[in-house]
């Protein structure tokens, strides 16, 4: 790229001295290397080449915790010890230079590497340099694709790939993305992998109907066009469906966990079986080759936590290769070789064929007619929310580490550290972590890791804010504000609230603080009085928090925080102020501010309409709660029960929890709300703030009753008069939006066997329904499953409690309890509703979803702040344009930071903002001088101008040529719709 080359030529000399193994030119000098594509064994052009790929699939937590899996503890649950796998594999690779092995999960490899001697480390480097040990995928984990947010996926991939790059140089860089176990595949993941420089992508799980069609059409290998905004081939990714999930062919598993017979090749012994083995293997080879397109096929020789005794595998694989290839003298045309996914991919690329083009995604995934893996979109909703909060906390921690400088890591509050939370968040992206498909004690461990990481980040945040404000007064973090618990605000007569905003634009945000006083005054950083209101704590909140807090009231006020910075509000108790607002028992007919109008049916207490007063739009809107009766597997159609993975209701019609709601209402100038009670275990607050263009639905669900021995899957459903024609829309990992249609798949003719579960899709941050006039958008606070099963309707699953395991390996029902909630987990969450014309709805929901993901962080200080305290600060010189989001700002090393700028609009969705935007990097930060800049790929493990990928040609289209765009100058960078650009900046603190 001309622009990139120009930028690098000017800027790189400033950056080079500061980066140890970045760029790749400055890696440590290794012995001669033949890794990557140069290390592949030769194939035979006129033959059917069988690429055997020895591998292990090591879950970063599932039935055991990540620590238990690494050390091999609690083998009564599952026999698995990753440290022994790596020990054994390295030993066996050294015995035969022809052997190959791939490894995926850097979280495990990093642990193992740290425990090795210098001699062993050098030995492993040599294996990597010779391509005998190859890393694929290379992230900290193999992330889930349905329930992860793109920002957290990019972070965990960066963490793992950075370790590989700094440890092994270019030979440690994976060429292939490898998601053999995730339960469905997101288009945004493919887009990210393409932008990370991967040449191809392989996975194991695909819908059973989709696989059948692709086998017949020989379309199990394809070109995935993973963005409708980025110009091809920027987000194009060659994608292959593996032939047997990720397991070896039947009869050819030689792990200690398997029972297949070894190859007995002594003809003098009774169990001699070489002829039988060769015959069975060739039969499988020809069968597999008949459903793929080239004279190359791949076989995954390994599975979950295999190769703990690698000698068993390699001894038999050596024999298999020898005896099958010996048949070439008898005119068989099969050539078997040790290989890797990248070597297999290289042969497909050399074939120079055209490939079918795919533009949608691989959701939902079913492995048979009544087994749709759509339950995990919602499973463990509390963990899903905690992961999302932790991501927001991590981004704030990373930002303050940069803008606060070195003192943030070592300051008045001690040693601050962001690394622990970074690693905890990376582990939480695993496809059996945030997905909610792990055993209960493992889910507890993921949450504990996140909490521990946040404790370390709190020190860093406190140090940074002390530096920026000039005050080392103790800061208090109240992590239970969602249930009105904060000991400081409940007892203090005077305190200050520091509000840090991690977004690159100012935000207005409502604050609710638990208090015991009746009246308070609030002033902003300029000393101006701020409208505030005291309201009574709801009965639902009192019941939910139990003995953890004692506040009788909540203090509510609106804050406005500067971009990438903080502001401070002072709060004082008034002795003779006005009394708190009181709750009225009747349902109001209307709630209204200057933007929105909401009406209620006084007979039912339910919503009846929503109007946008700015655009003169109005829709009929009713909303209620329902539950699906979860199948227990005792069914004439199928014995499949609902479980952590599988959603299978007994009926297509859910049970309504209550046709009416008991209500009370509070109406104040600051906020209006209607509190609704549907059942002892379901309540909601419909809330409208004075300056908000979104209606808030704060729902509380649980404990789900099971004394009737019925598992329950609870939804909320919005019913409108919008003419949707069976279409609805969901986001992919929080970024691009995909169109969905009931009972339809773009790729094949669907035989719908589960009319509810088969229409559920993952909702990561938003979903909407629309017609030509109205668009109702719902922004979520965590990943959830949802659908539109009738015209004008949108339903979202909130909570699940099930009494049976779904027979997918986890081995226990999804029946969450805790010490606080022994009768069943209670979950609270929030949905934000907007109504807009479709042509500019994204102007509202894009920033709203961004605010939901990266919420302001509150820290509190008791008493009065000392004179001279800096009450307001922004880390930016100016507000960034609305289309631009600072996705990443983190410390890379002593004098450099990693910056990702993102254009957050798709090319088609906004007349106003779907345009290129230019940002000047030198005029970006208020506390940093930017001295040098160099551009990296998305995962920050290659220089952008050195990133070269295989090009592929789609069927019925020409080969796309990468468009070259030139930036206005070295320091001015232009972002186009949905583009993320990654920079390494050399900086100096001002």
**Active-site residues: which are they?**
181
End-to-end CA distance of the chain, in Å? 33
The DSSP annotation for 822-851 comes to TT---EEEEEEEEEE-GGGTHHHHHHHHHH
- Nearest Cα to 233, choosing from 951, 903, 736, 940? 951
Distances (CA, A) of 395 to 155, 365, 391, 881, 900: 10, 32, 6, 20, 12
- Nearest Cα to 142, choosing from 430, 563, 466? 430
The answer for residues whose C-beta is within 8 angstroms of residue 561's C-beta and 6 or more apart is 499, 500, 501, 506, 507, 509, 567, 856
5: left (phi over 0), alpha (psi -120 to 50) or beta: alpha
Strands of 531-616, DSSP E = 532-536, 553-561, 565-573, 590-592, 596-600, 607-612
- Nearest Cα to 422, choosing from 454, 447, 445, 399? 454
Which DSSP category does 271 fall into? Answer: T
Strands of 607-661, DSSP E = 607-612, 617-629, 655-656
Return the SS3 of 81. coil
Buried b / exposed e along 901-912 (16+ C-beta atoms within 10 A): bbbbbbbebbee
724: left (phi over 0), alpha (psi -120 to 50) or beta: alpha
Which DSSP category does 57 fall into? Answer: B
Buried b / exposed e along 307-343 (16+ C-beta atoms within 10 A): bbbbebbbbbbbbbbebbbebeeeebebbbbbbbbbb
Q: How far apart are CA 436 and CA 61, in angstroms?
A: 11
Q: Packing angle between helix 419-428 and helix 440-469, nearest 10 degrees?
A: 150
422: left (phi over 0), alpha (psi -120 to 50) or beta: alpha
Q: How far apart are CA 141 and CA 635, in angstroms?
A: 37
**How far does CA 352 lie from the centroid of its chain?**
34
The phi and psi torsions of 430 (rounded to 5 degrees) equal -55, 150
Distances (CA, A) of 18 to 5, 7, 357: 20, 18, 43
Return the SS3 of 917. strand
The phi and psi torsions of 39 (rounded to 5 degrees) equal -95, 5
> CA dihedral in degrees (23, 25, 31, 35; nearest 10)?
70
- Nearest Cα to 396, choosing from 514, 510, 498? 498
Other CB atoms closer than 10 Å to residue 782's CB: what's the count? 26
The answer for residues whose C-beta is within 8 angstroms of residue 657's C-beta and 6 or more apart is 624, 625, 626, 627, 678, 679, 682, 714
Q: How far apart are CA 151 and CA 158, in angstroms?
A: 11
Q: How far apart are CA 502 and CA 563, in angstroms?
A: 7
Torsion over CA: 852, 853, 854, 859 (sign): positive
Give kind and range of the element (H or E) at residue 210.
Answer: helix 208-217
């Amino acid at each position: 790229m001309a622009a990139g080359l120009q930028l690098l030529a000017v800027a790189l000399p400033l950056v080079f001295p500061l980066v140890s193994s970045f760029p790749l030119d400055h890696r440590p000098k290794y012995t001669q290397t033949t890794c990557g594509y140069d290390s592949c064994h030769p194939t035979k052009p006129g033959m059917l080449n069988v690429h055997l790929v020895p591998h292990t699939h090591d879950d970063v937590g599932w039935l055991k915790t990540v620590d238990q899996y690494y050390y091999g503890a609690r083998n009564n649950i599952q026999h698995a010890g990753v440290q022994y796998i790596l020990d054994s594999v390295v030993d066996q690779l050294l015995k035969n230079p022809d052997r190959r092995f791939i490894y995926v999960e850097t979280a495990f490899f990093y642990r193992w590497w740290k425990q090795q001697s210098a001699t062993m480390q050098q030995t492993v480097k040599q294996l990597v340099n010779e391509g005998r040990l190859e890393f694929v995928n290379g992230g900290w984990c193999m992330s889930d694709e349905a329930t992860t947010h793109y920002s957290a996926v990019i972070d965990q991939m960066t963490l793992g790939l950075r370790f590989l790059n700094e440890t092994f140089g270019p030979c440690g860089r994976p060429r292939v993305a490898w998601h053999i176990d995730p339960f469905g595949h997101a288009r945004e993941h493919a887009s990210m992998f393409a932008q990370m420089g991967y040449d191809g992508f392989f996975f194991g799980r695909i819908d059973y109907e989709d696989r059948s069609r692709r086998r017949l059409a020989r379309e199990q290998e394809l070109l995935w066009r993973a963005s409708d905004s980025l110009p091809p081939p920027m987000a194009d990714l060659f994608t292959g469906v593996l032939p047997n999930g990720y397991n070896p062919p039947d009869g050819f598993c030689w792990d200690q966990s398997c029972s297949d017979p070894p190859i007995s090749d002594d003809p003098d012994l009774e169990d001699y079986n070489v002829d039988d083995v060769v015959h069975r293997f060739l039969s499988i080879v020809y069968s597999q080759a008949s459903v793929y397109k080239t004279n190359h096929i791949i076989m995954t020789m390994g599975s979950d936590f295999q190769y703990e005794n690698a000698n068993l595998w390699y001894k038999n694989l050596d024999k298999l290769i020898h005896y099958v290839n010996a048949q070439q003298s008898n005119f068989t045309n099969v050539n078997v070789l040790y290989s890797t996914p990248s070597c297999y991919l290289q042969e497909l690329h050399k074939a120079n064929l055209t490939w079918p083009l795919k533009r949608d995604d691989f959701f939902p995934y079913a492995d048979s007619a009544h087994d749709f893996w759509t339950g995990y979109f919602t499973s463990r909703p509390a963990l899903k929310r905690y992961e999302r909060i932790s991501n927001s906390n991590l981004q704030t921690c990373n930002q303050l580490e940069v803008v606060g400088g070195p003192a943030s890591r070592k300051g008045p509050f001690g040693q601050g550290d962001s690394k622990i939370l970074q690693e905890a968040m990376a582990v939480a992206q695993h496809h059996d972590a945030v997905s909610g498909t792990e055993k209960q004690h493992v889910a507890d461990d993921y949450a504990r890791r996140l909490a521990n990481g946040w404790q370390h980040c709190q020190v860093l945040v406190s140090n940074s804010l002390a530096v920026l404000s000039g005050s080392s007064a103790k800061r208090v973090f109240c992590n239970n504000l969602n249930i009105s618990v904060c000991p400081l605000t409940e007892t203090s007569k005077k305190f200050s609230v520091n509000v840090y905003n991690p977004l690159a634009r100012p935000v207005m945000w409502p604050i609710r603080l638990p208090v015991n006083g009746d009246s308070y005054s609030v002033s902003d950083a300029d000393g101006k009085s701020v409208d505030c209101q005291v309201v009574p704590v709801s009965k639902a909140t009192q019941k939910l928090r139990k003995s953890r807090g004692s506040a009788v009231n909540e203090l509510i006020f609106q804050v406005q925080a500067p971009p990438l910075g903080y502001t401070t509000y002072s709060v004082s108790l008034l002795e003779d102020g006005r009394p708190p607002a009181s709750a009225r028992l009747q349902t109001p007919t209307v709630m209204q501010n200057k933007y929105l109008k909401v009406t209620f049916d006084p007979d039912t207490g339910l919503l009846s309409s929503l109007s946008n007063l700015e655009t003169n739009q109005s829709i009929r809107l009713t909303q209620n709660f329902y539950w699906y009766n979860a199948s227990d597997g005792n069914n004439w159609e199928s014995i499949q029960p609902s479980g952590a993975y599988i959603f299978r209701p007994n009926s297509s019609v859910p049970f309504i929890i209550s046709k009416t709601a008991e209500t009370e209402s509070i109406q104040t100038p600051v906020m209006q709300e209607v509190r609704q009670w549907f059942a002892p275990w379901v309540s909601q607050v419909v809330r409208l703030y004075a300056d908000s263009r979104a209606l808030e639905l704060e729902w509380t669900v649980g404990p789900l009753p099971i004394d009737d021995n019925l598992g329950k899957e609870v939804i909320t459903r919005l019913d409108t008069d919008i003419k949707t024609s069976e279409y609805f829309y969901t986001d992919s990992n929080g970024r691009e939006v995909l169109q969905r249609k009931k009972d339809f798949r773009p790729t094949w003719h669907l035989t719908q066997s589960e009319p509810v579960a088969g229409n559920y899709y993952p909702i990561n941050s938003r979903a909407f329904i629309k017609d030509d006039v109205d668009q109702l958008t719902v922004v979520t606070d965590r990943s959830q499953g949802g659908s539109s099963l009738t015209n004008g309707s949108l339903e979202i699953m909130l909570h699940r409690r099930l009494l049976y395991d779904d027979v997918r390996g986890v081995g226990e029902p999804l029946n969450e309890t805790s010490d606080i909630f022994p009768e069943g987990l209670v979950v609270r969450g929030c949905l934000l509703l907007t109504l807009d014309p479709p042509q500019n709805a994204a102007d509202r929901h894009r920033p709203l979803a961004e605010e939901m993901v990266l919420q302001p962080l509150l820290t509190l200080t008791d008493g009065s702040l000392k004179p001279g305290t800096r009450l307001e600060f922004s880390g930016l010189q100016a507000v960034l344009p609305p289309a631009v989001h600072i996705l990443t700002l983190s410390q890379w090393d002593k004098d450099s930071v990693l910056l990702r700028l993102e254009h957050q609009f798709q090319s088609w969705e906004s007349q106003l903002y779907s345009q290129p935007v230019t940002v000047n990097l030198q005029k970006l930060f208020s506390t940093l001088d930017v001295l040098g800049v160099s551009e990296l790929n998305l995962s920050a493990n290659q220089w952008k101008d050195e990133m070269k990928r295989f090009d592929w040609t789609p069927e019925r289209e020409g080969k796309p040529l990468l468009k070259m765009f030139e930036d206005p100058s070295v320091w001015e960078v232009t972002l186009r719709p949905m583009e993320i650009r990654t920079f390494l900046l050399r900086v100096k603190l001002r």
